[in-house]
Amino acid sequence: MNIEFKPIGFVRVDVEDVPRHWRRSELEGTLVINEEYAEGLADVEPGQRIVVIFNFHESPEFSSKLLRQTPPHSDVPTGVFSICSPVRPNPVGMSVLEVLKIEGATVRVRRLDMLDGTPILDIKPHIEVRDDSLD
């Protein structure tokens, strides 16, 4: 089976050193969406949170030696599927970003943890799950 992705756009950010995770980021930048997909931004609004699926385009190639990695916040090797490392069998990342502004095919966002030029694969709405059984 062969799976191929076509980027729908890319990230623009004015810094080289980005936070390692969106939850710890206040960094602002822009999602530049290809014009052919611009209409898909209809109904995305400022204040909304969106899930951005992207490609870790600058990550090193994965090998079985990287199934356990030591994250920067720990001294213990940890399974790759239980951490947010950009070095993965499939270099796919996910971030939840806050929409600040939309102009045509560009979306100004906050909480970026992606490098300038990062290919965007998809955008989805962030839907909070409310468990009424906890009330």
Q: What is the CATH number of the domain that holds 58?
A: 2.40.30.70
What pLDDT, on a 0 to 100 scale, did the predictor assign at position 81? Answer: 80
Whether 37 is covered by a domain: the verdict is: yes
Any domain includes 28? yes
Structural domain span for residue 49: 9-126
Distances (CA, A) of 5 to 106, 120, 122, 128: 21, 10, 10, 27
The count of other CB atoms within 10 Å of the CB of residue 43 is: 7
Cα 90 to chain center, whole Å?
14
In a domain, 106, yes or no: yes
Classify each residue of 55-73 as buried b or exposed e, where b means 16 or more C-beta atoms within 10 Å of its C-beta.
bbeeeeebeeeeeebeeee
pLDDT of the residue at 71: 78
Question: Strand 92-103 and strand 78-79: pairing?
Answer: unpaired
pLDDT band at 61 (very low <50, low <70, confident <90, very high): confident
Q: Which pLDDT belongs to residue 93?
A: 92
Instruction: Give the model confidence (pLDDT) of 66-103 as tens digits.
Output: 778 887 778 888 888 877 777 788 889 999 999 999 99
Residue 135 lies in a domain: no
Beta bridge partners of 30: 12, 108
- The pTM for the full model equals 0.84
Q: Is the pLDDT of residue 135 over 70?
A: no
- Write out pLDDT tens, residues 38-54: 999 999 999 999 999 99
- Whether 3 is covered by a domain: the verdict is no
pLDDT at 132: 63
Residue 79 in domain: yes
Of 120, 112, 134, the closest CA to residue 25 belongs to 112
Q: Is the pLDDT of residue 59 over 70?
A: yes
Q: How far apart are the first and last CA of the chain?
A: 45
